[in-house]
Chains A and B, each alone.
Chain A
Amino acid sequence: MAKHVVVIGAGPAGLETSAKLSKMGLRVTLVEKEETSGGHLKNWHTLFPGNMPGLKALESIKEGLDENVKIQTNTQVTALEAVNDYFTVSGHNGWQEKADAVVLATGFKLFDARRKEEYGYGIYENVITSSDLETLLAKGNLFSNHKNPARIGFVHCVGSRDEKVNNLHCSKLCCITAVKQAVEVKQLFPETEVFCFYMDLRMFGRHYEELYKEAQEKYNIQFIRGRLSESTEDKEGNIIVKVEDTLLGKPLRIKTDFLVLMTGMEPAAGTKSLTAMLGLKDVSDKFIRPLDEVLQPNFTDMPGVFVAGTCSGPKSVSETLADARSAALAVEAFLKE
């Protein structure tokens, strides 16, 4: 009988790993705490580069699943124990499976922007997050009660590279997402002035720099280097932003209709609890530390337990999928031994 792998988390990483493991002839159980699979991707309007809708990308990934993959939703993993040469994985609802290998694909959670209370998320109606913006774009009702917003601001690094919220790491995708979203907004509202408030712009990926250039030259998006100090709401519900333009060395006060906070990535609750449960190593950012970040990014200190996707650090969807395939290969190699 084919060996059995339990994959925890049915986001892009878990789905892709399962699909590839199944192709390799292994039996897979994919456990998901939520009602449906897809993770954050199912709520994401479009991906960059290529502007593929998140749902469409998700469908393509799911096409790889076959009858060898059993999906167990609404199940929160509460215990994972190594017994002799196999693992027992148990869920909160009594679900239990034996596995020859386990893949952690528990992913990330978005930083809770309410923790940066000075930006007013959850207090001022017109302060939203990048994730909210994707949802609004997907629904097609972005700023529906504001026909022509005069100004919109994007705030980079909310919950990333910020000692005050104990997140030193860069979430790396928020920069390109802000540029992508700024362009999308500008396409919808050409008359609107769009500002991006950034510390550094980290345009590391292919086509990223090009889009950034286009955003400035074609779409006239204003990039202001400076970290927001605070925002307040005036009586009309506009958001007044206080920021220092550190290139000009001048403090600015800008009245915006909407403020979009580019929330960073933190390890998901499930990532944290499994790390603690298994006694896996993490670093100060609390993402799981693989056995070797360069050579063995999918192995952990615990033989038979693997990582895939953003539970081992922020990744784009394309990077996540590549990591998932790499994890599948690692599992196969391990089970063959």
Chain B
Amino acid sequence: MTFDLFVIPFFGGLLFMIIVLFLKYSRWIAMMDASDRVKAGMAFFSASLPVTIREIFWESLLHRRMFKKNPLLGFMHMSFALGWLLLILMGNLESRIYSGGHINPPYYPIFLKFFIHDKRVLPFEIFTLPGFFRFTMDLLLLFVLSGLGLALFKRARSKWFGLKRTTRHNSFDKWAIISLWLIFPLRLLAESFTAGIYQGGGFLTNSLGHIFAAFLPLKYLVYPSWWAYSSMLGIFFITLPWSRFMHIPTEIVLIFLRNAGIEQGKYPGSFSQIELRACPRCGVCIDVCQMNEAGLTGSSAVYLIRSLREKQAGVFLHSNCMMCGRCLEACPVGIDTLGLRVGARGVDNRQIEADFTYLAKQPVPATKADVVYFAGCMGHLTPGVKNAMIKIFERAGIDFNFLDEDGSICCGRPLKLAGMQTAASKLITENTKAILGTKAKILVTSCPICYKIFNTDYNLNGMQVMHHSVYIDTLVKEGKIVLEPAAFRAVYHDPCELGRGSGIYEQPRNVLKQIAEVADVAQDRENSLCCGGSIGDLAMSAVQRNIIRDGALSILCESNPDMLVTACPLCKKTLDTGNGLIVKDIAEIVADRMTVSIKQTVSRSLAGQMSV
């Protein structure tokens, strides 16, 4: 017997899901740029394929990043993913052996215990353990059920899983999650009832069957239980493409495309659509979001992604984010949450037709120098930083041009973050002309916001872009400036755009350690907190910003430091509340603590004699 009516809900659901997934993925592939399609096609034959397979194994099955976040959370996700996959694989193998190697219909291994009540030792098992499959299949089922137990426990005690807040679910998710949770207990019941009658199960199902047989009329219950099991599978498959569980197939696709070198692009496209569906709504991004502190709980990455996926309007939700990148850092799936938000803002904010005629008047320095300095808007709003840099250049004897000495046009990053890509591009084009016009080799900037976009969106023909903290570190290492230590204890605040945004963590610390004792901060480097002054948010009030700033300050000042040092003019401005704590930029500290090295004294006095 290889067919029964009860398999129809499962089989129908599975076919339905496969057709829907096929249609959806085909549409996204069709929407892709031709070049991306070529990249994706090539990826099947390139060296990225083993990398992709490895990543799928580690992340989609074992959930390594989830384990790093919290072992219980990792185990919960792993038991569902790996346990279920192994159940399917083992079931297939087992059914093949029974059917003598023939390919069976897909429902056959799933409901094998319904079709086969065989207690014989199979030929294959003679070489392994008697009852190998029965034992293994029960063990795997127990493995999945342990994950289910954890999932239920997580409802009550999410803190044990490292989550203070969990995702609020919509109705599709609720249907899907209820069916998912019922699948495995129903499988257990169906198999136990069957084992209660035929004794064909393993350690778990046989024992349970034995118990059930004692007080339940299994003869009547066994068939409905298989129907129920099959129906739950059917419901799960039918709801999957519209629920959070769409992430199961889509994360695999995302990993593949990402390793093929496909990126989000400037405007939302099919890659974004795939990212939206690769989000499991695990909620890891919710707790790391500092917006919660200011009572803005609805705009975390998970809700952004869901609202985009469900095509809900959400200008306020899109606008309310500091773009600090903490969710990006935390996301176990590696979804570019910031890019998605910028894309959404681009759709919200009509492309403003501003007057760009003033751009043509950008002055280009007349003299040539190897180094060009760009203070940026924020550098100009903190003249202390700008002046410190000039002092440092002069002391190190560096020939430099000050590109925006008389003010300048914006680097374009604030516009880009607001989703105004077209306007940003105009500024980028003009700035590029001015920068390249200096014919310098190194572009030094004081502002991490400018630094970030110089690296990501400017084509500067190989000109090296350096943030001033990195440049100062180089000057110190080359002996061009000598720093004098002072007796104070400082903490260093990692600016979002410089740290998480650009991966620069150590150079500013190296410099600071030459001058002061640097105390540790509980949340630093990748986990650094946003100062609250971010230009990335388009909707927050000053009061809300202050709450976020004060939260960050309390963490930064836990060790009661003498000074708070950062490497971003905006962070410096924001964190300086005038309450007595000294807040300085790394450049200002350096400018204060430079001594003249002997070499410099000699060369300078020689230069003096020559000019006389």
Say whether A59 faces chain B, with CB atoms less than 8 Å apart.
no
Q: Is the CB of A123 within 8 A of B383?
A: yes
Q: Is B602 on the interface with A (CB-CB < 8 A)?
A: no
Contacts of A115 in B (CB 8 A): 576, 578
In the docked arrangement, what's the CA distance between A117 and B577, Å?
12
In this assembly, does A318 line the interface, its C-beta being within 8 Å of a C-beta of chain B?
A: no
Q: Write out, one digit per residue, whether chain A residues 153-176 have a CB within 8 A of any chain B CB (1) or not (0).
A: 000000000011110000000000
Residue B365 at the A interface, CB < 8 A?
no
Q: Which partner residue on chain B sits nearest A163 by CB separation?
A: B542
**B429 on the A face (CB < 8 A):** no
User: Using Cβ atoms and an 8 Å threshold, which residues of chain B touch A120?
Assistant: 383
Would A166 and B577 be within 8 Å (CB), given that A117-B384, A123-B383 are in contact? yes
- Interface: A100 (CB within 8 A): no
Contact string against A for B residues 387-411, beta-carbon threshold 8 Å, 1 for contact and 0 otherwise = 1000000000000000000110000
A166-B577, A242-B407 known; A117+B546 contact, CB < 8 A: no
A124 to B573, CA, bound (A): 18
- Residue count of chain A within 8 Å CB distance of chain B: 16
Question: Within the complex, what minimum Cβ distance (angstroms) separates B467 from chain A?
Answer: 20
Q: Give chain A nearest CB distance to B447 CB in angstroms.
A: 14
Q: Chain A contacts of B387 at CB under 8 A?
A: 123
A120 to B576, CA, bound (A): 15
The closest CB in chain B to the CB of A284 belongs to B543
Interface contact A118-B383, CB-CB below 8 Å? yes
Q: A112-B578, A123-B387 are in contact. Are A118 and B542 (CB under 8 A)?
A: no
Is B578 touching A165 in the complex (CB atoms < 8 A)?
A: yes
B166, CB-defined interface residue at 8 Å: no
- Chain A, 115-144, CB within 8 A of any chain B CB: 115, 117-118, 120, 123-124
Does B380 have its Cβ within 8 Å of any Cβ on chain A? yes
Asked if B578 contacts A124 (CB within 8 A), the reply is no
Report yes or no: A232 in contact with B542, Cβ–Cβ below 8 A: no
* Interface hits, B370-390 → A, CB 8 Å: 380-384, 387
Instruction: Check B383 against A166 for contact (C-beta < 8 Å).
Output: no
A34 interface residue, CB < 8 Å from B?
no
Decide if A164 touches B542 in the complex (CB within 8 Å): yes
CB-CB < 8 A to A118: which residues of B?
A: 380-383
Q: Is the CB of A230 within 8 A of B381?
A: yes
Q: Are B381 and A166 in contact (CB under 8 A)?
A: no
User: Which residue on chain B has the smallest CB distance to residue A118?
Assistant: B381
Whether A124 contacts B546 in the complex (CB less than 8 A), given A112-B578, A242-B407, comes out as no
Chain A interface SS verdict (over half): mixed
Q: Name, among A118, A163, A165, the residue most crowded by chain B CB atoms within 10 Å (CB to CB).
A: A118
Are B382 and A166 interface neighbours, CB within 8 A? Answer: no
Cα A40 to Cα B384 with chains together (Å): 29
Q: Closest chain B residue to A233 by CB distance?
A: B383
On whether the beta carbons of A117 and B382 are closer than 8 Å, the reply is yes
Instruction: Tell me the complex Cα distance, A119–B382, Å.
Output: 9
User: Are B383 and A232 in contact, with the CB atoms below 8 A?
Assistant: yes
Given A112-B578, A165-B578, check contact A230 B542 (CB 8 Å). no
By a CB distance below 8 angstroms, the chain A residues around B573 are: 117
| Chain A contacts for B577, CB-based, 8 A | 166
Docked Cα-Cα span, A199 to B60, in Å, equals 58
Find the A residue at minimum CB distance from B377. A230
Chain A residue, CB-CB nearest to B382: A117
Question: Which residues B202-261 have CB closer than 8 A to chain A?
Answer: none
* Interface hits, B336-390 → A, CB 8 Å: 380-384, 387
Q: Which of B523-569 contact A (CB under 8 A)?
A: 542-543, 546
Bound Cα distance A165, B576 (Å): 9
With a 10 A CB-CB cut-off, give which of B381, B383, B543 has the most chain A CB atoms: B383
In the bound complex, residues from chain B placing their C-beta under 8 Å from that of A166 are 542, 546, 577
Give min CB distance, A161 to chain B, whole Å: 12
A230 with B578: CB separation less than 8 A: no
Name the residue on A nearest B546 (C-beta).
A166
User: Which residues of chain A come closer than 8 Å to B384, judged between CB atoms?
Assistant: 117, 123
Contact residues in B for A117 (Cβ distance below 8 Å): 381-384, 573
Closest B-chain residue to A242, C-beta based? B407
Residues of B within 8 A of A164 (CB): 542
Residue pair B546, A230 in contact (C-beta under 8 Å): no
Q: In the complex, A112→B407 CA distance in Å?
A: 25
Contact with B along A272-285 (1 / 0, CB 8 A): 00000000000010
* B405 CB → nearest A CB, Å: 8
* Interface residues in A255-295 (C-beta closer than 8 Å to B): 284
**Cβ contacts under 8 Å, A165 to chain B:** 578
Q: Which residue on B lies nearest to A120, using beta carbons?
A: B383
Cβ of B576 and Cβ of A230 under 8 Å apart?
no
On chain B, the residues within 8 Å of A112 by CB distance are 578
**Per-position binary interface string of chain A over residues 104-115, scored 1 when its CB falls under 8 Å from any chain B CB and 0 otherwise:** 000000001001
Interface string of A295-307 (1 = CB under 8 A from B): 0000000000000
In Å, the complex CA distance between A313 and B2 comes to 88
Please provide the chain A residues from 219 to 244 with a CB less than 8 Å away from any CB of chain B in the complex.
230, 232-233, 242
Tell me, rounded to whole Å, the shortest Cβ–Cβ distance linking B568 to chain A: 13
Q: In the complex, what residues of B have CB within 8 A of residue A284's CB?
A: 543
Q: List 23 A-B contacts (CB under 8 A).
A: A112-B578, A117-B381, A117-B383, A117-B384, A117-B573, A118-B380, A118-B381, A118-B383, A123-B383, A123-B384, A123-B387, A124-B383, A163-B542, A165-B578, A166-B542, A166-B577, A230-B380, A230-B381, A230-B383, A232-B380, A232-B406, A233-B383, A284-B543
Q: A117-B381, A118-B382, A230-B383 are in contact. List 7 more A-B contacts (CB 8 A).
A: A117-B383, A117-B384, A118-B381, A123-B383, A124-B383, A166-B546, A166-B577
Interface, chain A (partner B; CB < 8 A): 112, 115, 117-118, 120, 123-124, 163-166, 230, 232-233, 242, 284
Q: Which 9 A-B pairs give the minimum distances between C-beta atoms?
A: A163-B542, A118-B381, A115-B578, A123-B383, A117-B382, A120-B383, A112-B578, A230-B380, A123-B384
